[in-house]
Structure 1
Amino acid sequence: MLRYTLMRLGIFAGCLVVVWGLVYSGLAPRGLGASNGLWIVLLAMVISAPISFVLLRGERDRASVQVAQKVDRMKAGLDANRAQEDGADDAARTQRQTS
């Protein structure tokens, strides 16, 4: 998961550098007044999103499998705890009924 996140940030950083270069060279339009920095960041985000979607498909699938496995392990652990608590509760009730 960390690898996927770092790869997404890398693609965004690359797009940010390219957009910054295009804006300051005059090939892309500048933002209005003091909004130029925000314009560059937003434009880089819009460009990097589809690039990440296409280029990181395999890595995203691997991260999804890891998350699903972790959720399954957590559910299994919760079910085991629930079963253990139910057993202890049943044993306590049985003991109280026999006393």
Structure 2
Amino acid sequence: MLRYLILRTLIFTGCLAATWLLGLRDREEQLLAVVIAAVASLVISAFVLKPFRQQASADIASRVDRRVERKREQGGDEVAEDAEVARPDARRAAPDDGSSDFR
């Protein structure tokens, strides 16, 4: 992901330098140069950086899958613990002799 971000930034910087070389140097034209560079770098990176974007997406998807799997494994233990707590236990059952503070 970091590699993709760096390459994308380099493409934008190159496009911005190209607009400067094409003559958009005045202070009034700076915003136009940035917009043109942003659009050009978007189009260029959509085609040139496609393999890097797919690799970054696959890496993120695999991390998410691993987290989900760990949650399932941990969740299985929690379900068993909940069943253990919900099971009636003779040792914990208090006799109902009316001496309880709660009514």
Normalising by the smaller structure, the TM-score range is 0.7 to 0.9
The residue that corresponds to 2:99 in the other structure is none
Taking only the aligned residue pairs, the percentage that are identical comes to 32
CA contact (8 A) 2:24 2:30 kept: no
The residue that corresponds to 2:10 in the other structure is 10
CA contact (8 A) 1:19 1:40 kept: yes
Aligned 1:13-92 pairs, distance under 5 A: 13-24=13-24, 35-92=28-85
Distance 1:35 1:72 in 2: 49
More helix by share: 1
CA contact (8 A) 2:12 2:38 kept: yes
Q: How big is the alpha-carbon RMSD for the aligned residues of Structure 1 and Structure 2?
A: 1.7
> Which runs of at least 4 in structure 1 moved beyond 4 Å after TM superposition?
none
CA contact (8 A) 1:23 1:40 kept: no
Gaps of 5+ in 2: 91-103
State the number of aligned residues: 90
Gaps of 5+ in 1: none
TM-score normalized by structure 2? 0.78
**If you compute each CA radius of gyration, which structure gives the higher value, 1 or 2?**
2
